[in-house]
């Protein structure tokens, strides 16, 4: 069941239902038939296993006591207000190796991991820090680096998120009850649905436009897309 105010809703097709046009009516699911004329477009999206994006920050070169190194990360994963945080480390005596500098910077990031931070994890091996974002629903981390060191270097390389599609978690995010999900993955069909609506004024449009996220097997999805102009 979709929440009030959303301009889309989700449908999970059952294993026994193959969409077909019968007398101008398409059975999107066993219990949700619509007029064929109310469906304006259909886009099929194959299932994709998501991979959360991450930043690879490499510390290299030769560091001296007093060198400053800064890593700034921005993100829009956890709030409409952009997350922005700078982590600054000044190299200390006895800790000038790339491993020591990377470990110190990683600990600053790791200390922020919480329900409100956009990070799932922060690890380092030798001089390489890997900071992984929270989920695989969108691209969410941007990193900026700086150092005033004469011989030490810091380089950031982002790896973009592979956005998840058609996985059980995606269906739950769209409002499908977890208990109704029986397959490991689903093909998604995004439908533009113009449902008939009451007309309060003579010059009003007599339909409401909504998007349907429909989930089914690849064969069911192919049959549905073939029915929609």
Please give the chain's pLDDT, 229 residues, in tens. Answer: 333 344 889 999 999 999 999 999 999 999 999 999 999 999 999 999 999 999 999 999 999 999 999 999 999 988 878 899 999 999 999 999 999 999 999 999 999 998 688 999 999 999 999 999 998 888 899 999 999 999 999 999 999 999 999 999 999 999 999 999 999 999 999 999 987 655 554 554 556 788 999 999 999 999 999 999 8
Please tell me the predicted confidence (pLDDT) of residue 135.
87
pTM of the model: 0.77
CATH code at 54-159: 2.60.40
Residues of the chain with CATH 2.60.40: 54-159
Burial class (CB in 10 A: 0-12, 13-18, 19+), 93: exposed
Task: State in Å, rounded, how far the first CA of the chain is from the last one.
Answer: 27
Please tell me the predicted confidence (pLDDT) of residue 48.
96
Q: Under a CB-based contact definition with an 8 Å cutoff, are residues 45 and 190 in contact?
A: yes
What is the distance, to the nearest Å, from the Cα of residue 217 to the centroid of all Cα atoms in its chain? 22
- Residue 23 — left, alpha, or beta (φ > 0 → left; ψ -120 to 50 → alpha)? left
Please tell me the predicted confidence (pLDDT) of residue 229.
81
Residue 35: name the closest of 229, 170, 174 by CA.
Answer: 229
């Amino acid at each position: 069941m979709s929440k009030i105010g959303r301009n889309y809703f989700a449908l999970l097709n059952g294993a026994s239902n193959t969409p077909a046009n019968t007398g101008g009516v398409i059975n999107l699911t066993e219990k949700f038939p619509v007029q064929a004329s109310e469906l304006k477009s259909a886009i099929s999206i194959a299932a994709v296993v998501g991979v959360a994006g991450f930043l690879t920050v490499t510390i290299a070169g030769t560091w001296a006591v007093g060198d400053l190194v800064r890593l700034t990360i921005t993100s829009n994963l956890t709030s409409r207000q952009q997350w922005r945080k700078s982590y600054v480390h000044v190299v200390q005596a006895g800790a000038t190796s790339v491993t020591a500098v990377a470990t110190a910077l990683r600990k600053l990031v790791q200390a922020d991991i919480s329900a409100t931070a956009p990070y799932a994890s922060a690890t380092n091996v030798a001089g390489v820090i890997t900071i992984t974002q929270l989920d695989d629903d969108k691209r969410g981390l941007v990193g900026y680096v700086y150092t005033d060191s004469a011989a030490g270097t810091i380089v950031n390389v982002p790896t973009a998120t592979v956005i998840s599609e058609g996985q059980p978690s995606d269906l739950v995010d769209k409002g499908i009850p977890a208990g109704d999900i029986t397959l490991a993955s689903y093909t998604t069909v995004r439908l533009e649905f113009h449902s008939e609506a009451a007309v309060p004024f003579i010059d009003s449009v007599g339909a409401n436009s909504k998007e349907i996220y429909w989930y089914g097997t690849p064969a069911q999805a192919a049959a549905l897309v073939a029915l929609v102009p």
